[in-house]
Structure 1
Amino acid sequence: MAIDRRTKMSPEETDAFLGSHETGVMSLARTDEPYAIPISYGYDASNGQFYTRLVSTPESEKRRFLDSNPDARLVVYEADGDTYRSVIATGTLVRIDPQELTVEDVQQYGDAKRPLFEIWPKQKGELDIELYRLDPETLSGRLIEISREK
């Protein structure tokens, strides 16, 4: 029989988990329509903010969502044997004008690695590459450990 133990991660555990990962799934919502994409991110534990570069084409579905100032939810997770961890951040995605970048912002975007799944059929000059920050209104981490008894 499998028995699971579910616990809430402490703020320190949540920050450590987010700092040790670099990819997740971001869901965007406008009215009743959802849109989810894999992303890479940088995380600043000192202010609890996520930094990401999002690439789209002018006519893409992603661009239509980003232009609508959507609500956002970022899910970062891992499964390691019988231990599962996940963190969910919800909030508003804010576009950052490159002219307004601070030194701290540049450092955070440097931590947002380019994901391996980023493949584009268009030339780089035809792509919109924009910087965003997620300031979470909520941030919660969960840990599930499964023990198997015989």
Structure 2
Amino acid sequence: MTVSSLEDAGLTRMDDDAIAAFLAGRRVGVLGLPTDAGPYMVPLSYGYDPDEAALYFTFIGGPESRKQRLTDAADDASVLVYQVESMFHWESVLLYGTIDAVPETEWDAVGDVLDSAWRPDLFERAIETGKVAVYRFRIDTQRGIRHTGLPPGFDIE
């Protein structure tokens, strides 16, 4: 089925403002990195900067980390951010863009954005090891869809 065919069942496309609001209200997603064997999927927490149309995130573990090696090698990547409340109420945004390491000299400038990222307590303790890398995902293309109610014909009267 295509998105167009699902619009009759109540699916709607999100405009740029709705996508920006959605990204600002969420803090976790899935990063897709290219490999020869297909995409390598990495859960991540992010901070969103709407002025730059960019997500910022940290990896902990150093250069021996597979996700960090693949991220360093990637020029392009994708990010999926979604939320599901029920089978009739969910939202999904798919982002395509470029990814690059943020030099440590710029970390202070993006500190507020990074501080807004959700992190498990384990990450906070691991940051103390010093094996931290900060990345910027610049959004080139974005698509969002949502379903926020019962499909036509299922309304409660």
Q: Could you say which TM-score interval applies, normalised by the shorter chain?
A: 0.7 to 0.9
Amino acid aligned to 1:97 = P
Q: Which residue of 1 aligns with 2:138?
A: 135
Residue 106 of structure 2 is aligned with which of 100, 115, 120? Answer: 100
Relative to the length of structure 2, the TM-score reads: 0.78
Root mean square deviation, CA, Å: 2.7
Higher strand share: 1
Whether 1:36 aligns to 2:37 is no
| TM-score (norm. length: structure 1) | 0.81
Instruction: Quote how far apart the aligned CAs of 1:101 are.
Output: 3.5
Find 1:25's aligned residue among 30, 38, 41: 30
User: What percent identity do the matched residue pairs reach?
Assistant: 27
Contact 1:29–1:70, Cα closer than 8 Å, also in 2: no
Question: Which residue does 2:90 correspond to in 1?
Answer: 84
Aligned partners of 1:20, 1:79: CA distance in 2, in Å?
14
How far apart, CA to CA, are the structure 1 residues paired with 2:133 and 2:45? Answer: 13
Structure with more contact order per residue of length (Cα contacts < 8 Å, sep ≥ 6): 1
Alpha-carbon deviation of 1:44?
1.3
Give 4+ residue runs of structure 1 displaced > 6 Å after superposition.
none
Provide the secondary structure at the position in 1 that maps to 2:73.
Answer: coil
Q: CA deviation at 1:58?
A: 3.3
Give the superposition deviation at 1:71.
2.1
Where is the helix percentage greater, Structure 1 or Structure 2?
2
Q: What is the aligned length?
A: 145
SS of the aligned residue for 1:67 comes to helix
